[in-house]
Amino acid sequence: MSVINKIRERSGLAVGIIAVSLILFIVGGDLLGGRSLLFGGNQQEVGEIAGQSIDYQEFNAKVDELRAQFEQQSGRAPAEQDMAQLREQAWNQLLFEIAYQKEFDKLGLKVSPEELVDMVQGNNISPAVRQAFTNPQTGVFDKSTIINYLKGLKNLPPQQQAAWASFEKNLSSDRLREKYEGLMRLSVFATTAEAQKEYQAQNSKADIKFLFVPYYTINDTTVKVTDSQLQDYLNKHKDEYPGVNTRSLQYVTFSVAPSKDDSAALYNQIKSLARGLGAAQNDSAFALQNSDVRVPLYITAGEMPEQLRASIPTFSPGGIYGPFREGNTYFIYKYGGSKKDTSFTARASHILIRPTAQTDSAKSEARRRAEGILQQIQGGASFEALAQTNSADGSAQNGGDLGYFKNNGQMVKPFESAVFGASSAGLIPRIVETDFGYHIIKVTQPKTDVLYRIAAIGKTIAPSQTTRDEALRKADQFASDVHTKEEFDAKVKEDKSIVVATADRVPENASNINALADARSVVRWAFDDKTDLNSVSEPFEIGDQYVIAVLTNKTNKDDVKVEDYRTELTAKVRNEIKGEQIISKLGNASGTLESIAQKYGAGALVETAEDVNLANGFLRSAGVDPIALGKAFGLKPGKRSKPFAGDGGVLMVETTRLTPAPAIADYALYKTQIQQNTASRIGFYINEAIKEAAKVEDRRAKFY
């Protein structure tokens, strides 16, 4: 009775809660959440461009417009990956309309109506128009096609008319951008001094000898790095370590994998479908209606799965074969006869002996080796074993097996002629020469032009609702027991079946977390202002698994800390310390570089490099080291540098010959090179400069 009285006492509150819940259900999208109308106007901003606020509704309207165009063009609803691309496209359009347009207006750049007509149906057709109206069967663009389309445009549905208007608008935008970037490219200039410097960098040559002690020759564990050293390094190199908003996570997953019962249920279902397929008059339509997997109606033996191919000798019209399991899919097949193909299919294995060089002696040696292997096989040796140990082709690991292939140019001509010229299976008793080398070939399935009519049904094993519920129950149980990082760690330690994954420095706009695809829900949770360090999430359903995460670290773009770059900083500081140790051990070395290396001991290398230049010099063990190259060209021949720390280790450089670039009268070629290199990147430079000038703030990650 006391329970009933309490319910009566609280009935007014309950009715109020229900009423508010109904209101929130109806308008909740605008009242609550990251774009709430109840929490201030700036909560609705997805970003800001050139001082102009981008409202959520405005941005979403543009995304919806692009979504409609996508659905019309593709005939399907966009997947999440498609939506991410559409949102990026919408953002770039806004960036163009706001930031770029200001620059166009300053210069008076426009696209006139006459110019637009010329782009669509005149003498200078836009590539986008050509692509959209090219006949897919013939690959030919016919101007009359687009003219007829425009004549009938007013009779098309409103959605198609709107799509065309948007297409024309994009044509104008693209042309404006082309004009702007063209002006910028024409403004690129290289001075004679720059050209002379580039010429000298490319054409001055040096022969050098160098001593190199790699940092890795000192074990990392012997070098202690302190936090104060890391902080000092960060303070000196702040420009190299920009602040970024990131989150680091640990997470566990509870897989929604199909159970044995799910597999058994599907097996029974596919056996039932087999009876229906066998009785179906229109078996191809029946298969199409019931299959999760699309399989062509006519296939070659090479296109069949192994289990079905093994059944070819028993094929009879109307016969049902299977169920066969391939991965997580059960297949059944109905044989409906055969016909001739327009090409032949065969299967072969080979052993490739490749010459070590393109010289007559190397080719002769390779042929002798191939003939020796052929004789071994003819004498009874295993083709597969010899392929694994001798073949220079990637098929060696499969005993030389190349699988099935057609005589349509998939293989080089001499090889193809040898295989498809064979009348039966077996070893071809001669060496076949191609551009790749010398081949020993075994035909395992001789040529055939038979196409088999196969109506196929494939059903993929999927987790049942019972299986999903069980996975969710386990995830919920874990989440209810865990509320802090300490509890998370303790629970994982207690249950050895749970595997913890780590994701460091996840950016705010990340779509995936390690192998977790479409994990935006986890990323948004990690970046939510209410999510504190060491917080544990509720279960997220991502694909066929439930994910529970714990937030382990935050980085802030306005407050760079050692912890944000600890791994990178530790490697840099450790190498600095190693460099000091190596330089100290080398001391005031004298004598030849070889004697210095011998005195230093293990790890010291002495090498030579000839005809190196400043533009693209490479030192074999040391790699590309600008400091070493600079010192080499700064020394007089016969002189040697003191030990110095390079990118990969400590070096001493000795210049043995220096050949300055000969003087030339005209540096026009090098001016052109500089201008072309700069002009090729002008689009990127412009985009970055405009975004910087517009002070773009992108907050889309809080909404999507």
What mean pLDDT do residues 154-166 have?
A: 86
For residue 557, name the pLDDT band (cuts at 50, 70, 90).
Answer: confident
* pLDDT for the residue 2: 30
Q: What pTM was computed for the model? A: 0.60
Tokens of 243: 């602040």
Radius of gyration (C-alpha) of the chain in whole angstroms: 35
- Looking at the fold, whether 616 and 494 belong to one and the same domain comes out as no
Residue range(s) defining the domain that contains residue 136: 113-186
Cα separation, 453 vs 333, whole angstroms: 10
Q: What percent of the chain is modeled with pLDDT above 90?
A: 68
Flag whether 602 is in a domain: yes
Q: Quick one: 349 and 445 in the same domain? A: yes
Task: Give yes or no: residues 148 and 177 share one domain.
Answer: yes
Look at the chain and report how many structural domains it folds into: 5
On whether both 454 and 498 belong to a single domain, the answer is no
> Is the pLDDT reported for residue 85 higher than 80?
yes
Neighbours of 446 (CB within 10 A): 17
Predicted local confidence at residue 31, as pLDDT? 40
Cβ distance 252 to 588 under 8 Å?
A: no
Between 18 and 403, the higher pLDDT residue:
403
Whether residues 308 and 450 fall in one domain: yes
pLDDT at position 70, please? 84
pLDDT tens-digit profile of 255-307? 998 999 999 999 999 999 999 999 999 999 999 999 999 999 999 999 999 99
Provide the percentage of residues in the chain whose pLDDT is more than 70: 94
Answer yes or no: is pLDDT of 53 > 70: yes
- Phi-psi category of residue 70: left, alpha or beta, with phi > 0 → left and psi -120 to 50 → alpha: alpha
Q: What is the CATH number of the domain that holds 357?
A: 3.10.50.40
Judge whether 78 lies within some domain.
no
Predicted confidence at residue 469, as pLDDT, reads 92
How far the first Cα of the chain sits from its last, in Å, is 50
Q: What is the mean pLDDT of the chain?
A: 89
Does residue 284 sit in the same domain as residue 423? yes
Per-residue confidence band for 71, with pLDDT thresholds at 50, 70 and 90: confident
Residue 664: count of CB within 10 angstroms of its CB: 11
* DSSP states along 390-446: H--SGGGGGTTEEEEEETTTSS-HHHHHHHHT-SSSEE-SS-EEETTEEEEEEEEEE
- Half-sphere CA count of 653, side-chain side, radius 13 A: 28
User: What's the confidence (pLDDT) of residue 43?
Assistant: 66
* Strand ranges for 288-328 from DSSP E: 298-299, 320-326
For CA atoms 543, 547, 552, 555, the dihedral sign is positive
Residues 634-643: contacts with CB within 8 Å, 24+ apart? 640/593, 643/582, 643/583, 643/586, 643/589
Asked if residue 563 has pLDDT above 70, the reply is: yes
Per-residue pLDDT, averaged over 483-507, amounts to 93
- CA pair distance 401, 404, nearest whole angstrom: 9
Task: pLDDT band for 615, please (50, 70, 90 cuts).
Answer: confident
549 versus 37: which is more confidently predicted? 549
Average pLDDT rounded to a whole number, residues 599-605: 92
Q: Give yes or no: residues 253 and 264 share one domain.
A: no
Q: 13-48, pLDDT tens digit by residue?
A: 333 433 334 333 334 444 444 444 333 445 689 999
| pLDDT for position 300 | 94
Residues across the chain: 704
CA 102 to chain centre: 35
Same domain, 140 and 210: no
**pLDDT, tens digit, 9 for 90 and up, residues 412-450:** 999 999 999 999 999 999 999 999 999 999 999 999 999
- Residues 215, 298: one domain? no
Distance between CA atoms of residues 59 and 173, nearest Å:
18
- Cβ contact 461:259 at 8 Å: no
Could you tell me if residue 18 is inside a domain?
yes
Q: Domain check: are 450 and 545 in the same one?
A: no
Name the band, by pLDDT with cuts 50, 70 and 90, for residue 4. very low
Which two structure tokens, joined as six digits, stand for 367? 């042929």
- pLDDT of amino acid 42: 54
Say which residue, 161 or 304, is predicted with more confidence: 304
φ, ψ at 630 (rounded to 5°): -60, -45
Q: Give the mean model confidence (pLDDT) for residues 512-517.
A: 92
Question: Do both 440 and 478 map to the same domain?
Answer: no
Let me know whether 252 and 265 are in one domain.
no
Supply the pLDDT for residue 590.
86
**Residue 672, domain member (yes or no):** no
The first and second tokens of residue 537, run together, are 């999430």
